[in-house]
Amino acid sequence: MNSSLENLQPYPFQKLAKLLEDLSPNAALSPIGLHIGEPRHATPEFIKRELINRIEGLAHYPTTLGTSWLRSSIATWLVRRYHLSNVNPDTEVIPVNGSREALFAFAQAVVDTHAGVEPVVVCQNPFYQIYEGAALLAGATPHFLNLLPENNFSPDCAQLSDAVWARTQLTYICSPNNPTGRVLSLEEWQHLFALSDRYGFVIAADECYSEIYFDEDHPPLGALEAAEKLGRSGFPRLVVFGSLSKRSNVPGMRSGFVAGDATILKKFLLYRTYHGSAMNPAVQAASTVAWSDEQHVAENRDLYREKFASAMKILGDTLPVSMPDAGFYLWLRTPVSDVEFCRRLYHEGGVTVLPGSYLGREAHGTNPGENFVRVALVAPVAECVEAMERIKQISSKS
């Protein structure tokens, strides 16, 4: 077996189950789970109809590159959403089976263990655990950029030495960020692009939360958009990862895309051809119509906007809570340790959240997830409101 498997840590939800196994939730209260980032809004009917109507596609093998209709739908959406001059659907877009699968596979294709130096993969900390697992199983060493409240959760690249950046082959950047909700500014992208130019590493921009935001007139800046604003023709060494899961409430469809540098995507397509990761034809058809419609996405944002407004109102005078730039997570500072706070919420309030320390690693002398919890506002509005009331009550006793 691959010895690197021994380096993988238990997944956060495994650790959470272990943390709570000796407790019983308050039997007088209905349980509310806000620990997993799984959208629980209804899947739009038109997407389900298209999936059913195209089920005959199961009789045929799909191609790894997907249909031209799907790629064109994604390219058109990217141009419209990010005000791009052009995205070539034949060379700059590949459909994938959800961003999680592609984020993992990308490291396996990019990292070169024969380059003569020990390869490094950089990611923000705390982080989506797939990045670390992908790096380790590709034979690279993860290095972390701590996201700290005193720095407005900015990924300060000065935390790593020139020697580390010189060995870096891949950097994962999640914007809007999981779990902090922070969106990178144009200046931050410019600095990261300059480092990529200097050291030659590839940037994997995870944008699966890009369509959950609160001001309809100011959607989050995207990596491709930043690159074009800065005159970076062809998106050099940049690949973005998008997903329908959160945008369209279809996490079970496993549908997303990668887009960006055509030279890198050509090699990634070769990898995927051997990997055997072509998208189900019926899912391709349903994805095509999903990317072509914005009304259901705006309606989805309305629900999240209502939940966050309620959370701010309920928790504002009890906990130091603030709105994220985007996404559906509250990154909530705790009055006691994050682990103890999770246990209290579960035992006394029947509310399950995720300790922030489970999403982070000890780096630069600290685990930046400590004393935070990630609260996923994915449940229906009434459940989220009830959960906030319980969190407030328990916090006031801490």
Q: What dihedral angle (degrees, nearest 10) is formed by the CA atoms of 191, 197, 198, 201?
A: 100
pLDDT of residue 115: 87
SS3 string, 85-109, reads CCCCCCCCEEEECCHHHHHHHHHHH
Q: What fold, for 45-293?
A: Aspartate Aminotransferase; domain 2 (3.40.640)
Query: Which CATH class for the 3-42+296-396 domain?
Result: alpha beta
155, 173 contact by CB (below 8 A): yes
Stretches in the chain below the pLDDT threshold 50: none
Decide the pairing of beta strands 141-146 and 238-243.
unpaired
Give the separation between CA 107 and CA 23, rounded to whole angstroms: 39
pLDDT of residue 397: 82
Cβ partners under 8 Å of residue 13, min gap 6: 35, 36, 354
3-42+296-396 and 45-293: same fold?
Answer: no
111, 255 contact by CB (below 8 A): no
pLDDT of residue 353: 98
Q: What SS3 class is residue 257?
A: strand
Alpha-carbon distances of 349 from 35, 292, 344, rounded to whole Å: 14, 41, 7
pLDDT of residue 352: 98
Global pTM value: 0.97
Domain coordinates of the chain in residue numbers? 3-42+296-396, 45-293
Which value, in Å, is the radius of gyration of the alpha carbons in the chain?
A: 21
* Sheet strands side by side (includes 120-125): 93-96, 256-260, 238-243, 202-206, 168-174, 120-125, 141-146
